[in-house]
Structure 1
Amino acid sequence: MKTNEKKNTSAKKKLIPAVAMLTTSAVMLSTATYAWFTLSKTAEVTGLNLAATAGGSLEISLGQVDNGVLSSSDLTPTADNISWVSTVDIGQYYEKVGKLKPASKVDGNSLFYAEDSGIYAGGRAVMADTKVKAATDEATLTARTTTANTALATDEASGADGYYVDVPMWIRSTKQTKQDVQCRVTIKNKDSENNTENDLQKAVRVAVLPLKTATEANDSTTVTNTLSVTKASAVAGYADTKYTLLGDKASVFGLNWDNYTDNKGIKTTEGANYGAKLDTITFTKGTAQKAVPTSRDSLDNLTTVFELAGAGNNEYSVEGFVVRVWIEGESKFCNDATANQDWTIQLDFQAKDNAGN
């Protein structure tokens, strides 16, 4: 987004024993009016399909499952819980998800948005004195209350609207040496017949947020449940974040990084004067791919997202993390012309021996 004072410038490597895959798809529908979309356009994540697969030494989970349903998406699965699998489908545990509204961030964690009244030029410009606010509303994922696995809801009652979708996840391994968990993200237009250059998919951002909770070992005989995902009351700076991150920066993936103001997003302070609220992006940029590879011989464009500690004897090493998806309002590809488009996301996780071992 630019101000009104400036121009728009701006394996058969066997998948080794340590690969996990996450797939999501989102459908964009016309609904309400939100900033950076000014023609009554809002992105609605309706057909959210999330599959995760892991092989060999890695297992993956979406949270504790009791009686076939999620006990709580924020509750770490116990060592013997049935949720630890090699393949998981989000539709098995979630049935509803809210609509996405554009937001912006520079650190990968805190989000902000510009008030609607200051947006003009089809979502491509913002008045310099427009007020910036913290985007604390999350697009809600609603857990299933039964084991029925029907399609996700696609109507107005599909969950609370928000500026991002968070999916808590956990990865574990029995390997007794440290591993670097790497990630590759693929984002593509769901409609392969209409793969234009001005796709909203280029404004989609996917962050992997590791949590600052000490990696716990789950003894095979003594089931523990200590690595929980805890949420604070609001998204602010790193001193008071929604999640306590591991390290000071998140890894964020995108197809394109062309913003209305080069390498700038809305920084972590709110108030009047949008023009003064732009700041340099500080998160690690991961290059997303446009299409799912036809060959699985290698996983390229990998970014290390966190370290998985070595496990003890008869134990698991566990890491909790959050996959966050949002639409970057400062991207040149976030505007009225692209608002009603579909896109899919796939994430591949791979564990690599840590060089420090």
Structure 2
Amino acid sequence: MDDTCIRRQTAPGQRRRFCTAIFAGCEIDSVLEQASDVDHGHTRQKPAGTRTRLVRAEPGRLVQVQPTACILSETTGGPSGLAAVRCPARWTIRFGANRNSRNRLMGRRFNVQGEMTMEFEGRVAIVTGATSGIGMATARKFAEQGGKVAAVGRKKDVLSKIATPNIKTYAVDLLNERETAVLVENVLNDFGGVDVLVNAAGIIASGTVENTTLAEYDVMMNINVRSVFQLIQLALPSITERKGNIVNVSSVTGLRAFPNVFAYCVSKAAVDQLTRCAALELASKGVRVNGVNPGVVRTNLHRNSGMSEDAYAAFVERSKTTHPIGRIGEPEEIADLILFLASSRAGWITGVTYSIDGGRAQTCAR
């Protein structure tokens, strides 16, 4: 067994319970219920609901840490108790934990004293495309996990709905070079620096190689590629100084050719190559650059392209048949991968574009 894993053992007076959690970067797969312990030669009964967990923090040394039940209690608001360990699903139903509770827990790490730590505490992220979908989900998750977020979008009224003490909003047209430059200046002044840049803004439009106009092509490339390049250049001095990283949101269309979205496919393939080239050039400076390639996700991307609600509903139903998993993705699923790539847990990953598409890239385009 690896030195970072739980030592499986049962001593007299103990019963073993099993669960899974993330602790100090390790997977914990056993919880020991301690009926009693010895304190200065006297047997002392532990309070009801107390659990003892032994974790090997370094070779040859086991340390006692806080139990999963306590962690669940803190994140869900339910009482600490064995029920959380025996059946997390039942715990979720009884005490009102939901996807947000789970996501908050997933983003947290724990030290050997069992204290919760926030992965992005003290770090600043710029997230574009924050008025909907993947960008909005990413901004919220960064904030939930301790980060300060500069949420960027075009619609002030929508941005105002996601503003929190940890999320400051900026209404900017990324097609405007001057506005984009002022955005980065303002973020640096407001937060003192940038650790993470998430380029999630993007547009899509139908069109083939024959009927796409130069004007349509230019707008697509300017939003989907040029703005990414400009933001990287502007934020890079601060990101380099703080040994931060960049995550670009591309698409499965950057990996595979699809019909009737010619300019969009070209723009996302360009984002993927930009990601790889930037990663190669910036690795020596301690800056990582990665990308994600989603399939169809429940966002406003297609609605904003002019698709009617009926057409969008039909598109979603059809997408269930073109994605092997049988459904479209949710923004939070993409955000989870983005946060992982932006975290210290991905410290040896750079220049990679990750498919997160329900298997879409493995199928024939149709």
TM-score under structure 1 normalisation?
Answer: 0.24
Q: Which of structures 1 and 2 has the bigger CA Rg?
A: 2
- Greater per-residue strand proportion: 1
TM-score under structure 2 normalisation?
Answer: 0.24
Task: Answer 1 or 2: higher relative contact order, Cα 8 Å, separation at least 6.
Answer: 1
